[in-house]
Amino acid sequence: MTIFAELKRAKFMDTVVNNIRITKTENSRLSQVDFDNLPFGKIFSDHMFEIDYSDGAWQTPTIVPFRNLDLHPATSALHYGQAIFEGLKAQKSSSGEILLFRAVDNAKRFNESAERMCMATLPEEIFVEGLKTLIDLDRNWVPSNEGQSLYIRPFMIATDDYVGIRPSEKYKFVIITSPVGAYYSDPVKVKIETYYTRAAEGGVGRAKAAGNYASSLYPAKLAAEEGFRQLIWTDAKTHTFIEEAGTMNVVFVINDTIITPDESKDTILKGITKRSVLDLAKDWGYKVEERAVKVDEIIDALKNGTLQDAFGAGTAATIAPISHIGYDGQTYELPSIESRTFSNKIKAHISEYKKGNIDDKFNWLIRV
Ligand SMILES: *Cc1c(COP(=O)(O)O)cnc(C)c1O
């Protein structure tokens, strides 16, 4: 960008960010919430952030009382799935500050999803400032009991009222937030899926696109009928390489080496939790390998006892330990949860980091 364009953009961003039109609720629902019994994703804070894209530009950003969206029945997102989302959390620190974890990374990833789905991209400043302003206004909704957090769901839908297939010309970006309880992840029994596919090379697996989650429900239902809680997805072509675990990235520890599928193919979602796990592990001096991971390698390690640890990594649970892996009609049991030095340590560390109890040496925290 030239200096002139840069200045123009900075001025534009200033205008947008300082002009969020705020309408406060007159009927806060805060007093009705039982903060000792928070279900996941069912209770929503008083306000929401909203901005529309039309005529080639983002319009006035608004914060309004939480309400239903009013959509034309031909809204293109409902028919053809131009819809993407993000998921992140805000946490209260021990001193009562509100902290966001790696939110700029979510803003960047959101735009990568938007590009892939041929949707308008959103200036990172709008994503981040919208988030901060919204959470500041609803700051009393950020729970403070152990393990609780404010789950944040930014999303964007195509809003042309047109039943023809083409990239929409109008979009709506919204942020809603939901106070959630501690996420107790029982160790999960997972099945290595060798027929159904989450993502194929050249497809949309890297994007947090709504349809990806719809298509994973049926294979997950079949696996549930066999007693498995989640699937480990394999590559679409050969089903011999491991990709992800359910809606999380998957990490293994074999012979004290941290191993996870690399992101060189566009079938793997670039998880921020996984990235944080790897950044910390490297910092602690662990050997970390991001590379193709063969199913056979994991099964061999299970058989010969060198598989020390396996877990899913994602924002909702942070670390979800895997207790059993099913493959080819066999179910293998993994080492006991107590014996898992790495996942126990990383889980505790990330939790303390998010609460601001650890020096923010990676610059991951944003104060609201
Ligand atoms: C969101 C998501 C993840 C995890 O990403 P985080 O940024 O760690 O929450 C992993 N895989 C898929 C398919 C996802 O949708």
Mean pLDDT by 10 residues, the chain (368 residues): 67 70 97 94 97 97 98 98 98 94 98 98 97 97 93 98 97 98 85 97 97 96 96 98 96 98 96 98 98 98 96 94 96 95 96 94 96
Residue nearest ligand 1's atom 13 by CA: 247
pTM value?
0.95
Query: Ligand 1: which of 102, 315, 350, 354 to mutate, most ligand atoms within 8 Å of CB?
Result: 315
Domain ranges of the chain: 3-180, 188-354
Please work out whether the CB of residue 272 comes within 6 Å of at least one atom of ligand 1.
yes
CA 297 – CA 306 distance, rounded (Å): 10
Give the CATH fold of the 3-180 domain: D-amino Acid Aminotransferase; Chain A, domain 1 (3.30.470)
- Residue-level pLDDT at 223: 96
- Residue-level pLDDT at 10: 66
DSSP annotation of 338: G
- The 10 Å Cβ neighbour count of residue 213 is 13
- Residue-level pLDDT at 94: 87
Please work out whether the CB of residue 315 comes within 6 Å of at least one atom of ligand 1.
yes
- Residue-level pLDDT at 214: 96
CA 233 – CA 247 distance, rounded (Å): 10
Q: Give CATH superfamily name and number for 188-354.
A: D-amino Acid Aminotransferase, subunit A, domain 2 (3.20.10.10)
- Residue-level pLDDT at 17: 66
- Residue-level pLDDT at 16: 64
For residue 270, how far is its CA from the centre of ligand 1 (angstroms)? Answer: 7
Give the angle 45-50-55 at the CA atoms, nearest 5°. 170
Residue nearest ligand 1's atom 15 by CA: 247
Please work out whether the CB of residue 61 comes within 6 Å of at least one atom of ligand 1.
no
- Residue-level pLDDT at 199: 97
Q: Which two tokens stand for residue 279?
A: 């950044």
Query: Which ligand 1 atom is the nearest neighbour of the CA of 86?
Result: 1
- Residue-level pLDDT at 13: 65
Please work out whether the CB of residue 230 comes within 6 Å of at least one atom of ligand 1.
no
CA 3 – CA 15 distance, rounded (Å): 18
DSSP string, 190-255: EEE-SSS-S--TTSSTTS-BHHHHHHHHHHHHHHHHTT-SEEEEE-TTTS-BEEEETTEEEEEEET
Please work out whether the CB of residue 314 comes within 6 Å of at least one atom of ligand 1.
yes
- Residue-level pLDDT at 19: 87
